[in-house]
Amino acid sequence: MKKELIELRVNGLLHELAIEPSALLLDVLRRDLGLTGSKRGCDDSSCGACTVLVDGTPMLACTLLAFSCEGQEITTVEGISEHGSLTAIQKAYGDWGGAQCGYCTPGFMITVKHLLSVNPDPTEEEIRAALSSNLCRCTGYTQMYQAIKAAIEAEKKGMATAK
Amino acid sequence: MPNDQRPETNDYSIIGKSVAMIDAAEKTTGSGKYADDLSLRGMSPASLRSPKRLPKRRSS
């Protein structure tokens, strides 16, 4: 298929790419841009390992055409660290064992980032509901809930200290 | 085991201590490489092809 030019804004950087109109966003991110943090898990929009933010909304890159994202801001797991340092949730995942094999973790990072951006102080039920879009085959969900709660506490303390 | 029967762990260097996961940051930032993330010079894609029909199996 003939390639066409597209401008994609990923993690704040504008890329001009020649891609097939049928190219999936996940393939463009992983193959053309070398951003392999977003994972191909199930490849049929069941598992959430490929979750990225498109204009702030979590989307599954494995079933999304890259061309449909032109002009929108795409954020992958590579783009969520703040000024090169780990965010509270990334640090808490390490402290609480939220990542086991780690393959599903980038998708969870995006989902949690979105949850906390729309709801900075979610209830246990709201955390569980948000995480239902992602699957972890190691089944380490309990550690993830602990990590997320710890990260929220850390953020609150941080904000209190800043005041 | 009830807590009062547990051996003292102060003498151990690892048991009873919280040990940092050395690869946690790579996993949470997406920088860790899995087999599917690797691309080597001269690497060719390969796929498995299975026969459309399977041979008859004898029950023995």
Tens-place pLDDT, residues A23-51: 999 999 999 999 999 999 999 999 999 99
More confident residue, A163 or A65: A65
For helices A88-96 and A105-118, what crossing angle results, to 10°? 130
- Kindly determine whether residue B30 and residue A103, on different chains, have CB atoms separated by under 8 Å: no
Q: Is the pLDDT of residue B23 over 60?
A: yes
- The C-alpha atoms of residue A77 and residue A59 are separated, in whole angstroms, by 13
The helix/strand/coil state of B32 is coil
Residue labelled with tokens 């990590």: A147
More confident residue, B45 or A57: A57
More confident residue, A82 or A145: A145
A88 touches chain B (CB under 8 A): no
| pLDDT given at position A84 | 75
Instruction: Give the pLDDT band (50/70/90) at residue A162.
Output: low
- The C-alpha atoms of residue A41 and residue A136 are separated, in whole angstroms, by 10
Q: pLDDT tens-digit profile of A70-126?
A: 999 999 999 998 777 889 999 999 999 999 999 999 999 999 999 999 999 999 999
- Kindly determine whether residue B30 and residue A90, on different chains, have CB atoms separated by under 8 Å: no
Task: Pick the residue from chain B with its C-alpha nearest to A27.
Answer: B37
How many CA within 13 A on the CB side of residue B7?
5
Provide ipTM, 2 decimals.
Answer: 0.88
Q: pLDDT tens-digit profile of A48-86?
A: 999 999 999 999 999 999 999 999 999 999 999 877 788
- The C-alpha atoms of residue B20 and residue B23 are separated, in whole angstroms, by 9
| pLDDT given at position A161 | 63
3-state helix, strand, coil in chain A (%, to 5): 45, 20, 40
- The C-alpha atoms of residue A10 and residue A73 are separated, in whole angstroms, by 6
Q: Is the dihedral of CA A152, A158, A162, A163 positive or negative?
A: positive
Residues of B in contact with A134 (CB under 8 A): none
> Which of A8-17, A149-158, B25-34 is predicted with the least confidence, judged by mean pLDDT?
A149-158
A86 touches chain B (CB under 8 A): yes
Q: pLDDT tens-digit profile of B48-59?
A: 998 888 888 877
- Kindly determine whether residue A94 and residue B21, on different chains, have CB atoms separated by under 8 Å: yes
Shortest Cα distance from B43 to chain A (angstroms)?
Answer: 13
Q: Is the pLDDT of residue A20 over 70?
A: yes
Residues of B in contact with A103 (CB under 8 A): 34
